[in-house]
Homo-oligomer: A and B are copies of this chain.
Amino acid sequence: MTGPRFTPLIAALPSSVPFVGPETQERAMGHAFAARLGANENGFGPSPRAIAAMAAAAGEVWKYGDPENFELKSALARLHGCRPENIVVGEGIDGLLGYLARLVLAPGDAVVTSEGAYPTFNFHVAGCGGVLHKVPYAGDFEDPEALIARARAVAPKLIYIANPDNPMGSAHSGARLAAMVDQVPDGSLLILDEAYVELAPEGTAAPVDPDDRRVIRMRTFSKAHGMAGARVGYAIGAAPLIAAFDKIRNHFGMGRIAQAGALAALADTTWLAYMRRLIGASRDRIGQIARDNGLVPLPSATNFVAVDCGADGAFARAVLQALAAEGIFVRMPGVAPLDRCIRISCGPEPEMAALAAALPRAVAAARDLPPR
């Protein structure tokens, strides 16, 4: 009895997960975090209209969601000035990145990204046997020119960049990204991950023709719209590329409640404007807390702040672990030199107060560590 025969690709893949959830840590600790500020969730929550729409849809959940996501795609097309044929809706940007990797990557195909950029993208590339080529950040920014230069060298199927960036919170102008699109080599596709762009300064969204075949943009309801647990992402791109998702996607994968919530959230532009103000104020609050503890907050165009702890990755990790022991969940970048920072998500004042109370003790605890 041999059991199933995995593909050679799967058999060789390590059993890694891109992120461990806070619930796993909570189960290990035996209690919940007091402040959940690690996953760039939006603790200010979704629009009350979206909550009401989702609660109402719960009674209708015996129906499958529309597999074409027609109403949501139509609303998104109006928002972005394109056709529904330019939009695919999926189970978060994560789900869409997984589908896209499958569409273009065969084992051995090259992919270009940044050292320290989104681990879940790398996970999906590995899952298709793609080979990652990484360029360093330029300071605390992803480096469009370096990404393009590497792409010219390795002829990748995919190039990945996030603007604004995660985990550093930095952003380039949309104009600079549009210029990057113009440099994408023939045969490569640029993934422009704009998960946080609704929270960035005016002019950060790249002015890109939705029918431009060189680029696919990814958006989400998880951040500005506060609906991470509803799992709604979408991509904007040329119609032939968007149509190809239908060849492999889970057609009924979008839940009916999620569809209803996203549609209501999209319509509540007042709430989105309010959210931008709340998150702007929360960024300032995190910055002040950081400075009060002798740490340096980096400028942020997102709903989180990368806080430079002023030393190396080991020190930042010690601060993070001391915060966790105090009941504060935060995360940090995975590679040097970005990992001198911890990454703190914006949130309501009770969580900020808990952070403010815990951070002095956490920094002190980290400083008391014996030298390595």
Contacts and interface: CB of A to CB of B under 8 A. Distances in A.
B18 A251 contact: yes
A63 interface: yes
B246 A15 contact: yes
Contacts of A64: 21, 39, 41, 222, 228-229
A254 B258 CA distance: 11
A198 interface: no
A45 B8 CA distance: 43
Given A3-B238, A61-B230, A213-B4, A255 B255 contact: yes
A250 B4 contact: no
Contacts of A214: 1, 3
A41 B62 contact: yes
Size class of A's contact patch? 35 or more
Nearest to A13: B247
A6 B246 CA distance: 13
A296 to B, nearest CB: 28
Interface stretch (A101-109, A131-139, A140-148, A278-286): A101-109
Max count, chain B CB within 10 A of own CB: residue among A1, A13, A23, A222: A23
Interface in A235-266: 238, 240-241, 243-244, 246-248, 250-258, 261
Nearest to A240: B3
A15 B230 contact: no
Max count, chain B CB within 10 A of own CB: residue among A13, A19, A255: A255
A310 B186 CA distance: 58
Given A103-B10, A104-B10, A62 B91 contact: no
A255 B241 contact: no
Contacts of A258: 255, 257
Interface in A258-308: 258, 261
A62 B256 CA distance: 17
Given A3-B240, A70-B23, A70-B27, A51 B42 contact: no
Given A1-B214, A255-B258, A61 B66 contact: no
Contacts of A19: 67, 251-252
A63 B106 contact: no
A206 to B, nearest CB: 17
Contacts of A94: 250-253
A43 interface: yes
A87 interface: no
A29 interface: no
A46 B66 contact: no
A153 interface: no
Contacts of A24: 66, 68, 70
Given A15-B244, A41-B63, A54-B61, 16 more contacts: A3-B241, A5-B157, A7-B102, A7-B103, A7-B105, A8-B106, A10-B247, A17-B246, A19-B67, A27-B70, A36-B63, A41-B64, A51-B59, A94-B252, A127-B247, A231-B254
